[in-house]
Amino acid sequence: MDYDFNGKRIFLDDMLERKKLEIFLNIQGIKLDKNLDYTVGIYKANELIATGSFFKNTLRCLAVKSEYQGMGALNTVVSNLMNEQYKRGFTHIFLYTKCNYIRLFNDLGFYEVARVEDLLEFMENKSNDITNYSLELAKTSIKAGRVASIVINANPFTLGHQHLIEEASNENDVVHVFVVSEEASVIPFSVRYELVRRGTTHLKNIVLHKTGDYIISNATFPSYFIKDEENVVVVHAKLDLEVYKKYIVPALGITSRYVGEEPYCSVTKKYNEVMKGSLEKDGIICKTIPRLSINGKAISASSVRQYIREDKVKEIKGLVPETTYDYFISKEAEGIIKKIKNSKNRH
Amino acid sequence: MKIIKSSMVGTLESSDIQIRVEQRDELGIKIQLKSSVEKQFGKQIRKVIIETLESLGIDSCLVIAIDKGALDCTIKARVQCAAYRAVGDAEKINWEVIN
């Protein structure tokens, strides 16, 4: 048997190449992920026999044609992807896979972070790195009876977020606030984090964190091997909560999690439902706080962005804390306002 | 030489070894080895990695090695290259220690 495999980059902007790849993946039972930065194809003569892609620091859509499995084609794919990742400056690399392939990736130097039943395995390329993350986190732990946690994206920080944090702050000894650090939103993390910080300085029992690499948003969650859309939300929520319960809760001694009620978005609603069930099973209180309303309308970050998009920055005054408002009327915000205006995306 | 960034060299193909070198705060060389021939050659692989790094004057780093049955000369070459990439600046490389 001839083992001469050639790796070649596949450009997904080329519709013909894209179509070919889609057909190839469909035969292997997976879909082409909607977020991909780089794709490689492994060819034998001119036949595509294996492929792999990545988005930011997560490897995706890896597949080997069934006749060629067990010949090391996956090693070629992963080697190629890892090299490209390092070139781009990503050294902490993740992947998601079906549970029956765990051993395969173990041999390639990937280790388990968390698992969702028999559906999904989340792996990273360093053994025990998440334990280190957990230990780092534990350094900020404050021993107290009632320790609450909140995870927010704050895109941007509104009175609604502030209200949620204030409620938690009143009812608990310590509140750990995690700001999603993944860059999947129009407003960059540094700004979102800073606005949360400025907007919570009046509360004394708050500890701010960034979520780091282990919590990813729904927008970039790879769903290519999960059959129906509904399931994607559930699996994503379960994975998030596995990581949360396994590493974050024990590190900080968390006793409750606060979330804002979700009146609009069905995806978030479903996520919150799964979360409530999963947390309560493990004895963590999950408290849903009704959204803060102004003039009968619940405040949401998306409506704030909508006003900004329509060039009505003045209108957001009643919806956001003064600190956020001050930021958006300052010169500093010009670039971001421009970006919000140009984005049609929900996020 | 001092390791100042992460680097990666090599592939996961048969007879090769993928070496990743990373900064480490404490002194000493720490090796995380995964090898298809760990039982037979684990000791020897670690020895070659440590000797190669020491000959380059590196006393502190983390090495993550995924071995697929590489020969000693391959391991040595991969480790040297990974170390040089992780030093960051070509000026700092002492070429004379290579033999």
Query: How close, in Å, is residue A299 to chain B by CA atoms?
Result: 44
* Tokens, residue A205: 């029992």
Q: Is pLDDT above 70 for B86? A: yes
Give the end of a domain, one of A96, A130, A164. Answer: A130
Based on the fold, state whether residues A148 and A80 are members of the same structural domain.
Answer: no
pLDDT at B68: 95
Question: Residue A56: inside a domain, yes or no?
Answer: yes
CATH classification of the domain holding A277? 3.40.50.620
Residue burial A292-315, b: 16+ Cβ < 10 Å; e: rest: beeeeebbbbebbbebbeeeeeee
Hey, what amino acid is at A176? Answer: H
A304-323 residues touching B, CB cutoff 8 A: none
The larger pLDDT score, comparing residue A117 to residue B10, is at B10
pLDDT at A127: 86
pLDDT at A163: 95
Question: Residue A100: inside a domain, yes or no?
Answer: yes
A90 touches chain B (CB under 8 A): no
Question: Residue A67: inside a domain, yes or no?
Answer: yes
Question: What's the predicted TM-score (pTM) here?
Answer: 0.88
Q: Do A75 and B14 touch (CB under 8 A)?
A: yes
Question: Residue A1: inside a domain, yes or no?
Answer: no
Question: Residue B40: inside a domain, yes or no?
Answer: yes
Question: Residue A34: inside a domain, yes or no?
Answer: yes
Q: Is pLDDT above 70 for B44? A: yes
Query: Mean pLDDT, to the nearest integer, of B36-57?
Result: 95
Based on the fold, state whether residues A149 and A188 are members of the same structural domain.
Answer: yes
Question: Residue A21: inside a domain, yes or no?
Answer: yes
Domain limits for position A211:
133-342
What chain A residue is nearest to B66 in terms of C-alpha separation? A109
Give the end of a domain, one of A69, A101, A130. Answer: A130
pLDDT at B96: 79
Question: Residue B49: inside a domain, yes or no?
Answer: yes
Q: What is the DSSP string of B16-60?
A: -EEEEEE--SSSEEEEEEEETTHHHHHHHHHHHHHHHHHHTT--E
Beta partners for A286? Answer: A257
Among B12, B15, B36, B62, the residue to mutate for chain A (most A Cβ within 10 A): B12
Q: Helix/strand/coil (H, E, C) string of B56-97?
A: CCCCEEEEEEEECCCCHHHHHHHHHHHHHHHHCCHHHCCHHH
Query: How close, in Å, is residue A32 to chain B by CA atoms?
Result: 25
Sign of CA dihedral A328, A330, A334, A336: negative
pLDDT at B9: 96
Query: Mean pLDDT, to the nearest integer, of B43-50?
Result: 97
Question: Residue B83: inside a domain, yes or no?
Answer: yes
Question: Residue B51: inside a domain, yes or no?
Answer: yes
Sign of CA dihedral B32, B35, B41, B47: negative
Segment-wise mean pLDDT, segments of 10 residues, chain A, 347 residues: 80 95 93 92 93 94 92 93 94 91 93 90 90 92 93 93 95 95 90 95 94 79 79 88 93 95 84 92 93 87 90 90 93 90 73
pLDDT at A3: 65
A78 touches chain B (CB under 8 A): yes
What chain B residue is nearest to A91 in terms of C-alpha separation? B6
Based on the fold, state whether residues A87 and A138 are members of the same structural domain.
Answer: no
Based on the fold, state whether residues A63 and A164 are members of the same structural domain.
Answer: no
Based on the fold, state whether residues A230 and A211 are members of the same structural domain.
Answer: yes
What is the Cα gyration radius of chain A? 22
pLDDT at A263: 80
Question: Residue B93: inside a domain, yes or no?
Answer: no
Beta partners for A64? Answer: A50
Domain limits for position B66:
7-88
Peptide bond before A156: cis, by omega within 30 degrees of 0?
yes
Based on the fold, state whether residues A60 and A21 are members of the same structural domain.
Answer: yes
pLDDT at B93: 78
Among candidates A165, A170, A137, A135, which has minimal Cα distance to A151? A165
Based on the fold, state whether residues A261 and A139 are members of the same structural domain.
Answer: yes
Contact residues, chain B, for A72 at CB < 8 Å: 13-14
pLDDT at A232: 85
Question: Residue B31: inside a domain, yes or no?
Answer: yes
DSSP E strands, chain A:
6-9, 38-44, 47-55, 58-64, 94-97, 111-116, 120-124, 147-152, 174-179, 206-210, 256-260, 285-289, 293-294, 297-298
How many domains does chain B divide into?
A: 1
Say what the alpha-carbon torsion angle B88, B90, B92, B94 is, to the nearest 10 degrees: 130
pLDDT at A198: 95
Question: Residue A284: inside a domain, yes or no?
Answer: yes
CATH classification of the domain holding A97? 3.40.630.30
How many domains does chain A divide into?
A: 2
CATH classification of the domain holding B34? 3.30.230
Question: Residue A347: inside a domain, yes or no?
Answer: no
CB pairs below 8 Å between A and B: how many?
Answer: 41
Give the end of a domain, one of A74, A104, A130. Answer: A130
Question: Residue B1: inside a domain, yes or no?
Answer: no
